[in-house]
């Protein structure tokens, strides 16, 4: 039987707290903090929203008897910050409150912080322990690590495919066949939940022309994602749902027209990488790609994906548009309603520390 140490137990609580802010912190990481005095939690907090107080600040503020801080251990899943941003450095607050021991899940990859938070604490005579549940701490903040180290958004590919490996039936724009639902309403609610956890949703122009999707949250509450598509030759109708003005929309094209406020003109034969660079500079931290086979295969071909979520249904199409293919075996196989949900991480992108 696995022996769970106190450090592991309290770090797991940090991760649990951090997850509460999923989809709410923007480009900032998910961070939870626990303060322990004589093996008893006396304070907890997490980074609740972008621009708000950090986890350490909230945890320290929650301690009723502040005199106990000088005899306590602070647990946090990411290295305390050491620079002035939207808030003062957490490492300075920890020093000010004379907390004698700090246990950290993983070192912050941000060059402004990386190792400096630990160094500042140690210079003040604080005992610092690092690497507790390091793998789990990296996985929780894989989007943040991708943003910092790869300088692009974290990319999630999502599609549903039939039992015999087709993403869709053959359809024609002039005499379209209605989309064939491979999953059910329960699975679609899960997809809308996912949309609310990411900054943006990306689909190809063919999907917009064929299905006129709204690309919003309807079956779940949460933040409406930025809608993104490609329309190199300005073929999308002004009346398309994606242009209804109800949420931020970016449509990449060769030329921006004076009448279309959604189009983002891009130079030359712009690529997936060029678009991701633009989104990264707009501080879009994560994108869920729900396009057809063509756009998804473009991300796979260029190696610009981090995670794939695939619903494998029970229906048989016989023929149609062949589903994208991920060469790695799934990390998780989850029975879900009438489907099998396959979750795969890009093994090439996900070495230790990415």
Instruction: Tell me the catalytic residues.
Output: 56
Nearby residues of 341 by Cβ (< 8 Å), 6 or more positions away: 309, 310, 311, 312, 332, 333, 334, 335
The tokens describing 8, both together, are 């592991």
Question: Could you give the CA distance from residue 327 to residue 312 in angstroms, rounded to a whole number?
Answer: 16
Question: Could you give the CA distance from residue 63 to residue 51 in angstroms, rounded to a whole number?
Answer: 22
The separation between the first and the last C-alpha atoms of the chain, rounded to the nearest angstrom, is 31
Residues in the chain: 354
Burial 291-329 (b: 16+ CB within 10 A, else e): bbbebbbbbbeeebbbbbbbbbbebebeebbebbebeee
DSSP element (H, E) containing 149: helix 142-150
- CB hemisphere CA count around 205 (13 angstroms): 12
Count of CB atoms situated within 10 Å of the CB of 167: 20
Question: Could you give the CA distance from residue 169 to residue 167 in angstroms, rounded to a whole number?
Answer: 7
CB burial of residue 164 (10 Å; 0-12, 13-18, 19+):
middle
């Amino acid at each position: 039987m696995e022996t769970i140490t106190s450090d592991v137990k309290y770090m797991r609580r940090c991760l649990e707290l951090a997850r509460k802010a999923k989809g709410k912190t923007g480009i900032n990481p998910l961070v939870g903090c626990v303060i322990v005095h004589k093996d008893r939690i006396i304070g907890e907090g997490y980074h609740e929203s972008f621009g708000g107080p950090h986890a350490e600040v909230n945890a320290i503020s929650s301690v009723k008897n502040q005199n106990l801080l000088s005899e306590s251990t602070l647990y946090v899943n990411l290295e305390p910050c050491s620079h002035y941003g939207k808030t003062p450095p957490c490492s300075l607050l920890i020093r000010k409150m004379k907390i004698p021991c700090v246990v950290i899940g993983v070192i912050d990859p941000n060059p402004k912080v990386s190792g400096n938070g630990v160094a500042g604490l140690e210079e003040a005579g604080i005992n610092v322990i690092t690497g507790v549940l390091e793998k789990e701490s990296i996985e929780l903040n894989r989007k943040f690590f991708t943003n910092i180290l790869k300088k692009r958004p974290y990319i999630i590919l999502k599609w549903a495919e039939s039992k015999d490996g087709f993403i869709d039936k053959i359809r024609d724009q002039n005499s379209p066949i209605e989309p064939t639902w491979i999953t059910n309403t329960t699975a679609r609610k899960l997809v809308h939940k996912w949309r609310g956890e990411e900054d943006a949703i990306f689909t190809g122009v063919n999907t917009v022309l064929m299905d006129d999707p709204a690309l919003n949250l309807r079956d779940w509450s949460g933040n409406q994602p930025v809608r993104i598509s490609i329309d190199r030759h300005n073929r999308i109708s002004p009346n398309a749902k994606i242009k209804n003005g109800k949420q931020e929309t970016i449509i990449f094209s060769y030329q921006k027209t004076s009448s279309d406020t959604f189009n983002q003109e891009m130079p030359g034969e712009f690529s997936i990488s060029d678009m991701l660079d633009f989104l990264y500079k707009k501080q879009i931290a994560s994108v869920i790609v729900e396009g057809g086979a063509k756009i998804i295969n473009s991300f796979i071909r260029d190696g610009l994906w981090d995670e794939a979520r695939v619903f494998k249904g029970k229906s048989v199409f016989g023929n149609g548009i062949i589903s994208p293919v991920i060469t790695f075996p799934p990390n998780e196989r989850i029975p879900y309603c009438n489907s099998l949900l396959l979750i795969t991480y890009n093994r090439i992108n996900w070495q230790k520390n990415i």
